[in-house]
Structure 1
Amino acid sequence: MQSNSPDHAPLGDRSVLALSATCGFAVASLYYSQPLLPAIAASFGSGSFAQGAIAMLTQFGYACGLLLFGPLGDRLDRRALIACLLTANIAALVSCALATHLALLLAANTMLGLTAVSAQIVIPAVSGLADPARRGQTVGRLMGGLFAGTLLARTVSGLLGAHFGWRTTFMVAALIELVPIALVWRHLPRTAANTRLPYPRLLASLGKLLREQPLLREACLTGFVLYAAFNLLWGSLALLLARAPYHWGSDVAGLFGLVGLVGMLASPTTGRLADRWGGRRVVALAAVSIMAAFALVAGAGRWVGWLAAGIVVLDLGSRANLVANQTRLYALLPEARGRLNTVFMTSYFLGGAVGSAIGTAVAARYGWSGLSAAGLLCGALALGVTARFRTAGRTQAFALPRPGSTSSASSGK
């Protein structure tokens, strides 16, 4: 049995702001380790392989968590589900801080990613309470909070790690995680189930959605390659900055997170563009932005200004990709928002895991120029995907005319 009725009265601006902060706090645990990777690996007597493994397994765990827990957002009360996940995430952060062997740390980081998916349950829930005409803007506000979490996590962890050690950073992060539990319990209303499907059938329905919805397939492919591009840089940034000519530590690497504030502030604007222009055009623009970003990153070994400019453009493109894809998916099947988001974000973070692994390997061997080439290729692949689905949509529209109907599933707008 499905329910297509609104879960609750529309949320006020104060609650949307609080839940935006919840998204930021919840997702931050994925990114605390990034500026600390060289220090963490060195403490276990390991090198670039360990750095890549930590980054990759955290993202891989997140993708698995989305697959396992994301569909439950359509089946259970979201507030209780999020509180349970955040509590488990605190335990994973403490396990990272206390790990005595590299294998234990890798296992703890996998669990950390697995339980860090709360934001991707909050966002579909709140989007269902938004005015349809302002859904993109609301999603943009939530994503602004999420992006703030990613940026500030890197900055805070870099500073804490440089002065107090990486283990202290994870313990402080565990304490911080108490904040989103309080926020979500205060501001997210209890929600009724959108479906009564048993859990195995709920998981099986993910494959059906992927088969039947071309727009979902397009979003998954573009999300995969563009988030891979994003993590090419962020997964290897601390490694490259520790080398000549910079020789900088985790504190400076973390401060580069602040450069992305421009992208964070632009998230609501991106949402409005998705409402006005259509998601596919904004995703194509995101792909071009990411290619431009890596063209700038190619010069990072000669002047740090090229790196700073590249990070700004990269963050703008990455945010545009995510906000535009999520906005158009949430309008597709209201009764399956949680599952649509699960499929998309699983693909998205699998791309992040692949990008993290490739980024450290390419950066270790080929430096800034190799990293730039890999990022340009990702952007070009995303443009190819949007062009392919646009052509397929037009062909379908001519072959199967539907007077008076403009389905978002076929148009991909």
Structure 2
Amino acid sequence: MIQAQAKLSPTVLWLMSIISAVVVANNYYNQPLLAEIAMVFQVSEGEVSRITVLTQLGYAFGLLMIIPLGDKFPRKRLILIDLLFVLAALIWMALAQSFWMLFVASFLIGCSSVIPQLFIPMAADLSSPENRSKNLGLIMSGLLLGILLSRFVGGIVGDLWGWRSIYWIAAGLMVCSWLAIYRLFPEIKPNFKGNYLSLMQSVWHLAKSQPVLQLAAFRGAMGFAALCTIFTTLAFHLEQPPFEVGPTVAGSFGLVGAAGALAAAFVGQLTRRLSVQRIISLSLAIILLSWIFTYFGGETYLGLIIGIILIDLGLQSSHIMNQSDYFSIKTTATSRLNTVYMVSYFIGGSFGSWSAAEAWEYGGWPAVCAVGFLYSLLALLAHLLFAKKLGTAKEKAASGAA
């Protein structure tokens, strides 16, 4: 483990964090621009929201089909090849002239922009147990900052030069990322010798046989569904009175949420004083609390700001601890563990986006807040009901092995 830890230099760790941010951002540039895209293509808010849903479904599909390959093929080569597909999908999105082309391009952007989820198991493999949470926290902070800042940048660029321009800029960032990875990244040998079918069967086996992973996946899915609930409909909410503002202001709420993400970067250090399960309990409670501000203060900027800071803080904190929890499972199949968790995570996000769009059409902002609160409550209840039981089982297994 000491030799492996030496390979994860600070340069490579920071590079993972930065590239995670610019790659995952591809999935979220559309959210503050949905109202503008709907106007350009003359479609309803419900129809244009499908772009967000398809992007997240594409991401879940890419996680399922591509991420397990990180255990079978050299990860550096896999990342470089995948970046070329990201580049092609972004160019397609920028050139799309028909609404159906936006659907296809959005799905392909999501499907190919899974590179950060190859970085995370790589960092887990190369980290010592005492540094794992801290290193994962740095990469996850980059990931979440990319999600949040993409909304801010996408909104500004959309206001200045139109919605297509952000995808051309994103394509240029992918070229820079490809060159940085080619020159600076280490190569890691694969640890799986079977064929692709047996690889996918092993993913399913992990999903069925690891209750710690199952609980982490459910918590992550419900937490991300809650976050997507608010950001899918925020641009529509801000278009209406009393706000009546456009993409720049809607996107700036991503910058607000970045404060919560930055604070959560230090959550790994709390494991010296609190257990992982206690930190997860507090994080999920914060997500639940955020909806009080979002609902009761939803007609004011202050209420929305506090609510979004809290939900981002809670989600990022629980996400880091979820990954620290299931990466403690004794197996070399780290990419496949991450596949199960992240596929669940983004399926949850796609349900959050879909249900938020339906709730908006049915009952406006109060209905959206009710849906988000329900997702948050399900995550906390599942944790409170099952985490302690799983912890006791793990302790018994450890004492039996000793």
How would you bin the TM-score normalised by the shorter chain? over 0.9
The aligned residue for residue 246 of structure 1 is 243
Question: Which sits farther off after the overlay, 85-94 or 110-119?
Answer: 85-94
Residue number in structure 2 paired with 1:215: 212
Alignment partner of 1:361 out of 333, 358, 362: 358
Q: Which residue of 2 aligns with 1:112?
A: 109
Which residue of structure 1 lines up, in the alignment, with residue 34 of structure 2?
A: 37
Q: CA deviation at 1:244?
A: 1.5
Superposition deviation, residue 243 in structure 1: 1.3
After TM superposition, the runs of 4+ consecutive aligned structure 1 residues lying more than 6 A away are none
Relative distance call for 1:163 and 1:333 in structure 2 (3 A) is same
Say which of 400, 403, 411 aligns to 2:399: 403
> Please, which moves more after superposition, 66-75 or 324-333?
324-333
Stretch deviating more after TM superposition (326-335 or 97-106): 326-335
Could you tell me the TM-score, scaled by structure 2's length? 0.95
Matched, 1:127 2:117: no
**What is the letter of the counterpart of residue 305 of structure 1?**
L
Matched, 1:144 2:157: no
1:248-280 deviation digits (Å, cap 9, x = unpaired):
111111111110122221233112234653332
Q: In structure 1, which of residues 51, 54, 62 is the aligned counterpart of residue 51 of structure 2?
A: 54
1:403 corresponds to which letter in structure 2? Answer: S
Which AA in structure 2 matches 1:29?
Answer: N
What is the letter of the counterpart of residue 230 of structure 1? L
Contact kept, 8 Å, 1:221 with 1:382, in 2: the verdict is: yes
Match of 1:184 in 2: 181
Letter in 2 for 1:293: S
Equivalence for 1:175: 172
Displacement of 1:382 after TM fit?
0.9
Q: Which amino acid aligns with 1:120?
A: Q
| 1:23 aligned residue | 20
Paired residue for 2:79, among 70, 77, 82?
A: 82
Distance 1:394 1:169, change over 3 A: closer
Provide the identity percentage.
33
**In the alignment, what sits opposite 2:269?**
272
- TM-score of the aligned structures, taking structure 1 as reference length: 0.92
Distance change in 2, residues 1:170/1:243 (3 Å) = same
Q: Aligned letter for 2:318? A: N
Aligned partner of 1:387 in structure 2 is 384
Match of 2:294 among 293, 297, 303: 297
- Amino acid across the alignment from 1:58: T
Classify the secondary structure of the residue corresponding to 1:284.
helix
Q: Which moved more, 1:329-338 or 1:135-144?
A: 329-338
Asked if the contact 2:238–2:244 (Cα under 8 Å) also holds between the matched residues in 1, the reply is yes
Q: Give runs of aligned pairs for residues 319-330 of structure 1, distance below 5 A.
A: 319-330=316-327
Deviation, 1:145, is 1.2
Q: 1:396, CA displacement in angstroms? A: 4.3
Cα gap change, 1:138 to 1:397, in 2 (>3 Å): closer
Asked if structure 2 preserves the Cα contact closer than 8 Å seen for 1:19 and 1:183, the reply is: no
Distance 1:63 1:274, change over 3 A: farther
> Aligned residue for 1:259?
256
Partner of 2:334: 337
More divergent stretch after superposition (273-282 vs 290-299): 273-282
**Deviation larger for 117-126 or 376-385:** 376-385
**Kept after mapping to 2: 8 A contact 1:60/1:110:** yes
Q: Partner letter of residue 138 of structure 2?
A: R
Higher helix proportion = 2
Shift of 1:334: 4.2
Contact 1:156/1:254, CA 8 A, preserved across alignment: yes
Residue 300 of structure 1: CA displacement?
Answer: 3.8
Contact 1:298 1:371 in 2 (8 A): no
Give the distance between the partners of 1:368 and 1:388, measured in 2 at CA: 30
* Aligned residues of 2:155 and 2:252 also touching (Cα < 8 A): yes
Return the letter of the residue paired with 1:317.
G
Matches for 1:225-240 after TM superposition, within 5 Å: 225-240=222-237
Contact 2:4–2:127 (8 Å) recurs in 1: no
Question: Relative to structure 1, is the Cα distance of residues 103 and 338 closer, same or farther in structure 2, using a 3 angstrom cutoff?
Answer: same
Task: Tell me if 1:286 matches 2:283.
Answer: yes
Does the 8 A contact of 1:8 with 1:191 survive in 2?
A: no
Aligned match of 1:156 in 153, 163, 180? 153
**Shift in alpha-carbon separation, 1:342–1:5, aligned structure 2, 3 A:** farther
Distance 1:397 1:148 in 2: 34
Alignment of 1:64-103 (within 5 A): 64-103=61-100
The answer (yes or no) to whether the contact 2:7–2:186 under 8 Å persists in 1 is no
Segments of 5+ residues of structure 2 without an aligned counterpart are none
TM-align CA RMSD: 2.0
C-alpha displacement at 1:8, in angstroms? 7.3
CA shift for structure 1 position 44? 1.1
